[in-house]
């Protein structure tokens, strides 16, 4: 059987694996969504306030901070994984917390990885909101904070892109999941680490199945966010 | 009836990077009626209105409200008594009802009070049928009526209007002027405009601004026999004047 035939055959077997509800595949997919979803929520928690400060305040060094977040968009996941490994390893400064090789470690790593996406995309979205919107809210009686929240709501469509982009980056990265998570079966094994492992073991069908699940996961999150945008963010 | 609010600007200067928008402005308001600020484009009318409405801070000089120097801590509470309507109908990306209710909701008024006030103002401005429409679906005239309704529903102590009737058709213009005059019978309205005829129709006092400086201030009669060349040209509507070449 030539290579192409093998890939096509594997593809259909993979589809069968996905749609038959294979517990191994479902378990890994749910863990990936949980870990990357949590990382995205964490990044949202500190990324949005940072983006609001950058967008709505004037301060010395603002452009430098924006530039740092922008260049961090392409930060290599393996490099970040290595840095966090050194921090979290038993002899590292944060080794005492026992975070290495745990889902918590991956969540922290992925949230750091996607924060520049959250901040840069959100700043771009918020800066495109008419600056007079904050003045409008203020003249209707809003405090500075309430006016900023109103501007955030006005820029919500752009911010939702930041959320989707952050989740996509988190769920599809490999370096941090591998180096901080350790790819422990049933504990820290996620979609990307499984694809890497199964490919190395020559289990192409399994690899393709997991890759399809990964693509479906990304597509699913995008569809959900699009529906939210359509229903609530007219 | 609440006492009429008194505002004083003392030597107010406003600079934007390398532009001098306002130059040592001294103004005093303590009366009901319509006070208009006129002058060519770029004269500083909008900046002056924003400073009066406490949306901008002066670079130099002081603002006094009821003889009290306005500091940062007072701005928010005072802004709840002031309301400004912007030149280009500015609105939140939602429907007419939500735009009008915003200011009432952040004041935590009871929902029945909010709805009662909204009903009243929608009726007054002929907006009942547009209540559930998105702002983006409205005409310019309808948008500007919503802007004024959104300000009136808050029952402010003073109203600041930045060219509220610019680009309006006669019908909408008439509705707006009627409501502005009605408000000004008990409270002050500070309004910028380019429209000389409108000044004659509704203004009580006039301030003429050019290049950020106050050229003249007085009853609207100052426009009938202006001594200043700038004002003469403005009133005559000379072409080229709008380039601010006083």
B109 close to A (CB below 8 A) = no
Task: Please state whether beta strands B188-193 and B158-162 pair in parallel, antiparallel, or not at all (unpaired).
Answer: parallel
The verdict on B148 and B125 lying in the same domain is yes
Q: Domain count for chain B, please give it.
A: 2
Is residue B18 included in any domain, yes or no? yes
Residue ending a domain, among B133, B155, B177, is B155
CATH 1.10.150.80 is held by the domain A3-232: no
pLDDT category, B65, cuts 50, 70, 90? very high
B53 close to A (CB below 8 A) = yes
pLDDT of residue A1: 57
pLDDT in tens, B125-170: 999 999 999 999 999 889 999 999 999 999 999 999 999 988 788 8
- pTM of the full predicted structure? 0.86
B103 close to A (CB below 8 A) = yes
pLDDT of residue B225: 77
What is the domain range of residue B12? 1-81+159-246
A143 close to B (CB below 8 A) = yes
Is residue B73 included in any domain, yes or no? yes
pLDDT in tens, B1-53: 567 889 999 999 999 988 999 999 999 988 889 999 998 888 999 999 999 99
* Residues in chain A where the model's pLDDT stays below 50: none
Reported residue count of chain A is: 234
Interface test with A, best of B102, B158, B161 (most A CBs within 10 A): B102
The verdict on B66 and B163 lying in the same domain is yes
Interface test with A, best of B55, B56, B59, B83 (most A CBs within 10 A): B55
Q: Buried b / exposed e across A178-187, counting CB within 10 Å, b at 16+?
A: bbbbbbeeee
Over chain B, what is the mean pLDDT?
89
- Reduced DSSP (H G I as helix, E B as strand, rest coil) percent helix, strand, coil of chain B, to 5: 40, 25, 35
pLDDT category, B75, cuts 50, 70, 90? very high
Q: Write out chain B residues lying below 8 Å of A145, CB-based.
A: none
The verdict on B64 and B115 lying in the same domain is no
Is residue B38 included in any domain, yes or no? yes
pLDDT in tens, B210-225: 999 999 898 887 777 7
The verdict on B207 and B182 lying in the same domain is yes
Q: Write out chain B residues lying below 8 Å of A153, CB-based.
A: 92
The verdict on B148 and B165 lying in the same domain is no
Cβ B92–A136 below 8 Å, yes or no? Answer: yes
Residue in B94, B134, B154 closest to A140 by CB: B154
A144 close to B (CB below 8 A) = yes
Cβ A140–B50 below 8 Å, yes or no? Answer: no
Cα(A10)–Cα(A5) distance, rounded to whole angstroms? 8
Alpha helices in chain A (DSSP H): 3-19, 23-56, 62-71, 77-88, 103-127, 132-139, 144-154, 156-172, 175-176, 191-200, 204-232
The verdict on B58 and B180 lying in the same domain is yes
Residue in A133, A141, A234 closest to B154 by CB: A141
A229 close to B (CB below 8 A) = no
pLDDT in tens, A41-84: 999 999 999 999 999 999 999 999 999 999 999 999 999 999 99
pLDDT of residue B2: 62
pLDDT of residue A44: 97
CATH number reported for the structural domain that contains residue B14 in this entry: 3.40.50.300
Is residue B195 included in any domain, yes or no? yes
pLDDT category, B240, cuts 50, 70, 90? very low
Is residue B39 included in any domain, yes or no? yes
Distances (CA, A) of B212 to A53, B21, B43, B232: 31, 5, 5, 18
The verdict on B35 and B136 lying in the same domain is no
Return the structure tokens found at A54.
Answer: 């950058």
- Measure in Å the smallest separation between the Cα of A132 and chain B Cα atoms: 8
If one compares B89 and B206, the residue with the highest pLDDT of the two is B206
The verdict on B145 and B218 lying in the same domain is no
pLDDT category, B239, cuts 50, 70, 90? very low
The complex's ipTM works out to 0.89
Closest by CA position to A36, among listed A161, A167, A215, A160? A167
Chain B, 23-52: which have a CB under 8 Å from a chain A CB? Answer: 50
Is residue B86 included in any domain, yes or no? no
Q: Write out chain B residues lying below 8 Å of A234, CB-based.
A: 93-94, 134
Which residues neighbour B5 within 8 Å (Cβ) at sequence distance 6 or greater? B29, B65, B66, B81, B157, B158, B187, B188
SS3 B158: strand
Task: Please state whether beta strands B33-38 and B205-210 pair in parallel, antiparallel, or not at all (unpaired).
Answer: parallel
Return the structure tokens found at A169.
Answer: 């980056």
């Amino acid at each position: 059987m030539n290579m192409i035939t093998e890939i096509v055959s594997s593809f259909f077997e993979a589809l069968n694996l996905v749609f038959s509800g294979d517990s191994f595949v479902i378990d890994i997919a749910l863990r990936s969504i949980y870990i990357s979803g949590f990382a995205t929520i964490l990044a949202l928690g500190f990324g949005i306030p940072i983006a609001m400060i950058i967008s709505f305040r004037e301060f010395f060094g603002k452009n430098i901070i924006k530039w740092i977040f922008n260049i961090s968009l392409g930060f290599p996941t393996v490099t970040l994984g290595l840095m966090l490994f050194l921090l979290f390893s038993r002899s590292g400064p944060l080794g005492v917390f026992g975070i290495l090789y745990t889902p918590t470690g991956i969540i922290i790593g992925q949230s750091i990885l996607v924060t520049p996406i959250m901040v840069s995309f959100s700043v771009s979205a918020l800066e495109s909101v008419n600056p007079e919107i904050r003045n409008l809210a203020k003249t209707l009686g809003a405090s500075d904070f309430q006016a900023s929240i109103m501007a955030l709501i006005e820029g919500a469509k752009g911010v939702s892109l930041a959320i989707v982009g952050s989740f996509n980056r988190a769920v599809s990265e490999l370096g941090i999941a591998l180096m901080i998570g350790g790819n422990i079966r049933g504990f820290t094994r996620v979609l990307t680490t499984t694809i890497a492992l199964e490919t190395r073991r020559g289990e192409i069908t399994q690899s393709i199945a997991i890759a399809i699940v990964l693509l479906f996961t990304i597509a699913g999150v995008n569809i959900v966010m699009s529906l939210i945008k359509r229903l609530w963010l007219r | 009836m609440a006492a009429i609010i008194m505002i004083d600007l003392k030597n107010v200067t406003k600079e934007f990077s390398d532009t001098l928008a306002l130059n040592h402005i001294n103004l005093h308001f303590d009366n009901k009626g319509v006070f208009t600020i006129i002058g060519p484009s770029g004269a500083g009318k909008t900046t002056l209105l924003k400073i009066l409405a406490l949306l901008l801070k002066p670079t130099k000089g002081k603002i006094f409200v009821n003889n009290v120097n306005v500091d940062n801590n007072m701005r928010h509470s005072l802004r709840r008594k002031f309301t400004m309507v912007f030149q280009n109908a500015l609105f939140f990306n939602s429907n007419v009802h939500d735009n009008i209710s915003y200011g009432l909701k952040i004041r935590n008024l009871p929902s029945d009070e909010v709805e009662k006030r909204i009903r009243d103002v929608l009726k007054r401005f002929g907006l009942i049928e547009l209540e559930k429409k998105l702002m983006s679906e409205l005409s310019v005239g309808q948008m500007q009526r919503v802007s004024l309704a959104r300000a009136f529903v808050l029952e402010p102590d003073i109203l600041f209007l930045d060219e509220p009737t610019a680009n309006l058709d006669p019908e909408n213009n008439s509705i707006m002027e009627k409501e502005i005059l009605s408000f000004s019978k008990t409270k002050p309205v500070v309004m910028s405009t380019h429209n000389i005829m409108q000044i004659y129709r509704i203004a009580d006092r006039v301030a003429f601004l050019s290049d950020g400086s106050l050229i003249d201030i007085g009853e609207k009669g100052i426009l009938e026999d202006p001594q200043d060349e700038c004002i003469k040209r403005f009133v005559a509507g000379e072409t080229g004047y709008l380039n601010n070449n006083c």
